[in-house]
Structures are given as C-alpha cells and as structure tokens.
Amino acid sequence: MGCICSKGIPANDYVAENHCKERHLKSNRSSRHGTSLRKEESVLHSDGGQSDAMARLILNQPGEENAGSTTESDGAEKVTSIGKVGSAKPLRQERPTMEDGIKRVGVHNNNATPRIIGVVIGEKGALVIAGWPSWLTSVAGEAINGWVPRKADSFQKLDKIGQGTYSSVYRARDIETNKIVALKKVRFANMDPESVRFMAREILILRRLDHPNVMKLEGLITSRVSGSLYLIFEYMEHDLAGLVATSGIKFTEAQIKCYMKQLLSGLEHCHAQGVLHRDIKGSNLLIDNDGNLKIGDFGLSTFFRPRQKQPLTSRVVTLWYRPPELLLGATDYGVSVDLWSAGCILAELYAGKPIMPGRTEVEQLHKIFKLCGSPSEEYWKKSKLPHATIFKPQHPYKRCVAETFKDFPFSALALLDVLLAVEPDGRGTASSALRSEQLCSMLMNYLVNHIKPGRTV
C-alpha cells in the first residue's frame, strides 16, 4: 500500500504431442511434413550452428559472475509468432501469469542458486522453445521457459522516457488491455552470448521476485530481425532521484518514513529470495502518483547464498551509494551492501541531496571514512581486503554521523547510524531495520503523547 501522505508528488510454449505422435511423425511423415520440420530446423539453427546449446537452470550450484508509434520504429521489425508444427492453424497466443511461469521454471526454491550454463538439447527441446529467436534460446532458454513472446504490434509507443548505454525505456499503451506500461528495449552487440546471459539472469531474478515494492516483469517482446528484446513492466510516473532534485519539493518526515518502509520491505523480500540488488539508488526507486515505491533495474543483481562463500565482483553499485568494503575490493559480501545504499538514500531524503558525491573511488572512500570513521584494526586484519594496504588511512578517522546530521529526527538518526556502519556486520538486515524503525517511531509517539513540556526522561 502506498504512502497516502505522498500523494500528489510530483511464452504458451508449444504443446509437443507426446512420444507416440513423435514416433508417428518420424515413421509416416510425408514429404510435406519433412519439409516443414526441416524449415523449422533451419530457423532454429540460423545462429551459425550454436543453437544446440541452450541455457539450463542448474539448482544448488555456487558461482555468480558468469552468470506515439508502435515498435515499427526499429525498421521492418518482424515479430515472432508461435504455431504448431505441421498444423495449418497457429496456436492462440496466451499471456501466462508470472506465477505460472515461475512454477514452470522452478525458481521458487529459496535454497537454490540458479546458474546459467550451456547444455545440449535435442529436437524435442528445440520444438518446445520454437517461436523465440535462436540467439536468445541458445544461451537463455531457461529464463524464458514457460512464456510466449508478446507481439510488438500489440503495443503503441507513446514517448521515450529513458536512455541508457544498452537500453532505452518507452512509455507505451497495451492495445489489448488499454493499460499504460513501460517497455525497456535491450540491445545486444552482435548477439554477444555473454551479454544475453547477463540479460537472462536479470529475467530469472525478476521472475523469482513477487512483492508490492519490487517492479514486476509482465512479459517479453522479441524480434528475429532487429536482435532486440523488450521487457514489459508496469508504468511508474516518477523516480526518487527526480523528485529529490525537483526544486520546491521537500519531503515530510511521514513521507520519508513511508518511502523507507517500502524500500526496506522490498529489500527484505529480495534477500529472502536469495537476491542481492547491488545498485540501490534514487533513480532505481520508482514511485507512482499514489506514493507506491518499487525497486527497479535488476541489471546488476545476482543470486547469492548467505552461508556459503562465493566470489562476487566488487565492481557494482553506483559510486555515491557504494559501501566501503566494495571500494576496498571485497568479493565475499552479502545483504549489507544493499543496506549501506539504503542508508545513503535515507540521509539523502532528509538532506535533499546526495550526502557523499565522490568523483573517484579514492575520493569516495575518503568521504566515507571522514563521515563514518575508519574500520577497526581488527577488521583490517580479519577482512584481508585486496586494496587495504593502499587505502588504509595512516591515522584512524573518528565517526561523526550524529554530529553531521544532528538536525535529523531521532528515529531517522538511530536507523542511519546502523545502516551506515563502516563495518558490514554492523548494518544488520532489512528485517531488523524495519523492526528498529518501527520501534523508534513507537517510542517517539509515546514521548510526544505522554511527556509534558519541561519534563525530562
């Protein structure tokens, strides 16, 4: 449920007809049927012979890093359609729910860490995934398993609302439902398998997550001609960074608490599902006109297992929201990286601007130590961080979070002091942050309502 006080701020897969029909096709097919199957085969192998490799979801494996107009504006962009092989009638395109898709792909196993690798498939597997372009199925088949692609001509682009290095975002109308949606167009350079594999991981993650404060992936649009892929999301009118930067907008304490509760609730769900976001920042926190906040952009996210060490990259999280351990080269980390970023967001909401806008990694680390203090000697020895010898300060810094933000409300300052702990273990969890914030709010309400002016406690 959104924040009332903030209102007004501005994939059916083919149905293979079982083994008996396959045997019948193999032994009795006419030359017409043979031609049809050969044509289907040629489409599926149009990727230079690489289509025998598709991505599989391997559970319980460690590892991580390998892991307005219509869309006719892409040129003569043809949209895939799915029909039954050997049948004059194409299958009616359906729109499976997210829950159906997740059950099929089997990503609700909270103790499993999906990993995308290539394995050999046979003709039956190729028939199941027919209708999707071979460059996608060859490395990302499991991510799209259970879904059918939506048609591009089912949407009308209204305007472009975002642009990135590898993607563009459009506001569009779903012609079938008349609903306004956001279309994220992803471009792949020369169909690079590694880039597609990263995209597949993002899709898998989005299909695992199902929470009111996390952006929901509603479907996919793909084209064999342009080599692009569209992700369909619900449309949100604002992002938090844009609102913070808008002159004349100053959030009330009630609004900030509401946004932080939603952010921490979304993170709590992500972490419970074994997902690290790794890029929490204002522009990735989307807000609608009713004050509902949703975490978006899972492009840098990864699956993790809390009690099992696994090497992760430290080159994640936007610089201003990156925790000190990542700046020091840590490859063994967990939910604490997202909590640090959440702490930066909390302070930014009260201050009205980013609190540590470093230009380089060295400057960013200096700003962190200056505000949050430097880690203890025990931490330096125990962590054995790759860049510790380079960046460890000669003299320890004193922590001054409370002094710097003395004008913040008591409940916010208490939570901020935890989230911006310079040592990761001190940041707790999203669940503990939610509990502490609620307890502080209860305490403050009690003091306001029961303590008379001039009386001390």
13-22 residue pLDDT tens:
333 334 444 4
- Is residue 375 one of the residues assigned to a domain? yes
| Domain containing residue 107 | 11-80+96-234
**Domain co-membership, 229 together with 286:** no
- Is residue 457 one of the residues assigned to a domain? no
CATH number at residue 17: 3.30.200.20
What SS3 class is residue 344?
Answer: helix
Residue at 334: amino acid letter = G
CATH number at residue 317: 1.10.510.10
Flag whether the pTM goes above 0.75: no
Q: List per-residue pLDDT tens for the chain, 457 residues long.
A: 566 454 444 433 333 334 444 444 444 444 444 444 333 333 333 343 333 333 333 233 334 444 433 333 333 333 333 333 333 444 344 444 333 433 344 444 455 555 544 444 543 354 244 468 877 877 877 888 888 889 899 999 999 998 887 889 999 999 999 999 999 999 877 677 888 898 999 999 999 999 999 999 999 998 666 677 999 999 999 999 999 999 889 999 999 999 999 999 999 999 999 999 999 999 999 999 999 999 999 999 999 988 777 899 999 999 999 999 999 999 999 999 999 999 999 999 999 999 999 999 999 999 999 999 999 888 888 888 888 878 888 888 999 999 999 999 988 999 999 999 999 999 999 999 999 866 566 556 655 665 555 544 4
Scanning 330-429, the segments in alpha helix (DSSP H) are: 336-351, 361-372, 377-383, 388-391, 401-404, 410-419
**Domain co-membership, 269 together with 120:** no
- Is residue 85 one of the residues assigned to a domain? no
**Domain co-membership, 296 together with 220:** no
- Is residue 399 one of the residues assigned to a domain? yes
Structure token digits, residue 236: 């949100």
Chosen domain end from 204, 234, 264 = 234
- Is residue 5 one of the residues assigned to a domain? no
**Domain co-membership, 396 together with 333:** yes
- Is residue 362 one of the residues assigned to a domain? yes
**Domain co-membership, 24 together with 100:** yes
- Is residue 455 one of the residues assigned to a domain? no
Chosen domain end from 205, 234, 263 = 234
**Domain co-membership, 151 together with 275:** no
**Domain co-membership, 159 together with 300:** no
Using only C-alpha atoms, the chain has a radius of gyration, in whole angstroms, of 25
**Domain co-membership, 217 together with 253:** no
**Domain co-membership, 183 together with 255:** no
Q: What share of the chain is helix, strand, coil (3-state, %, to 5)?
A: 40, 15, 45
Number of domains in the chain: 2
- Is residue 247 one of the residues assigned to a domain? yes
* CA separation for the pair 64, 312 (Å, rounded): 6
Q: Distance between alpha carbon 143 and the CA centroid of its chain, in Å?
A: 14
- Residue in 13, 47, 174, 279 annotated catalytic: 279
* CA separation for the pair 163, 199 (Å, rounded): 17
DSSP conformation class of 77: P
**Domain co-membership, 206 together with 310:** no
Asked if residue 184 belongs to a known ligand binding site, the reply is yes
**Domain co-membership, 213 together with 146:** yes
Element at 105 (helix H, strand E): helix 98-105
Q: Indicate if 279 belongs to the active site.
A: yes
**Domain co-membership, 52 together with 117:** yes
386-396 residue pLDDT tens:
888 788 888 88
Tell which residue, 444, 406, 453, 457, has the closest CA to residue 254.
444
Tell which residue, 297, 82, 293, 328, has the closest CA to residue 184.
297
Scanning 182-311, the segments in alpha helix (DSSP H) are: 193-208, 240-245, 253-272
Chosen domain end from 234, 262, 283 = 234
| CB burial readout 3-25, b (16+ within 10 A) else e | bebbeebebbbbebeeeeeeeeb
